[in-house]
Structure 1
Amino acid sequence: MISGVKRLVGMMLMLTGLLHVIYGLFAYASQLQPIVTEGLWSTVANDQWDRGTAFWYMMFGFLLMLLGYMIDWLIKKKGIAPPAIFGWILLVICLFGAIVMPASGFWLGLPQAWLLLQM
């Protein structure tokens, strides 16, 4: 049986993803605006690094929300812990990200990875 804070890890990942998207909407507004106004289709070309960065920043937030939802669903609906590989991969991603970009939000994922590894 999974209890306590461990049951919140999925919700914490969803919240982290949501904060990522909300922050991205403001931080990358000038890059996202032309993507939307130009009609979305093929609006990020290979030489448009600013738009590509904004796009992938936003997509990472949505992927965190998806991962959090799946973990939450596994724990609450099925009563089973997610596979340990989720915690290990999140740990590696966040450690590498925090090393390469210390002034970033990668630090937020470390406690969540640790909680996943404790299940």
Structure 2
Amino acid sequence: MNAIPAPLSSAAQPLASPRWIGPWLLGVAALHTAFGLWAFAPMLRQIVAAGWIGAATSSAPLAAASWFMLFGAPLALLAWLLPALQSAARPALLRQLGWGLLGLALLGISLMPASGFWLLLPPVWGLLRPGRG
């Protein structure tokens, strides 16, 4: 008898999350950063003119502009990491990421309803409902 089990049929294999999620998040990160460069241009110029180091601590608007600009980078990093997570075929890990992004989205939406946090909901849906996007 052959001791090697037969491969799982495609119906028995866990469904992968949709491949559009990484590019979507990268697009959101790019839009977020581009909007920040436009909307906060005067404040960003102030930060540079103040010598950069410690400049964002001088006022709440400068701190807010800094935090806004900094959020795009981790989102882009997550977008670039997502294909590797998807290739690892770890649906439980992807669902955990989906729940985490859902929490972040709901917190952001509740604090700032007129914001881009709504753009996290499609990838959340794709991560929590794999194979359906």
Q: Which has the higher helix share?
A: 1
Structure 2 residue runs without a partner (length 5+) = 1-14
Which blocks of at least 5 consecutive residues in structure 1 are unaligned?
none
Count residues in correspondence: 114
Tell me, what secondary structure is at the counterpart of 2:51? coil
What stretches of structure 1 move > 3 A for 4+ residues in a row? none
Q: TM-score, normalised by structure 1?
A: 0.85
> Computing the radius of gyration over CA atoms, which structure comes out larger, 1 or 2?
2
Which of 23, 29, 52 does residue 35 from structure 2 map onto? 23
What letter corresponds to residue 121 of structure 2 in structure 1? L
Instruction: Name the structure 2 match of 1:7.
Output: 19
Q: Cα deviation per residue 1:52-108 (whole Å; 9 max; x = unaligned)?
A: 101110111111111111112333xx3424612211011011112112211111111
1:62 aligns with 2:76: no
Using the alignment, how far apart are the partners of 1:28 and 1:51 within structure 2?
9
Distance between the aligned counterparts of 2:30 and 2:89, measured in 1? 25
Taking only the aligned residue pairs, the percentage that are identical comes to 38
| Residue from 84, 99, 102 that aligns with 1:73 | 84
Alignment of 1:1-119 (within 5 A): 2=16, 6-45=18-57, 47-75=58-86, 78-81=87-90, 83=93, 84-119=95-130
Alignment correspondent of 2:7: none
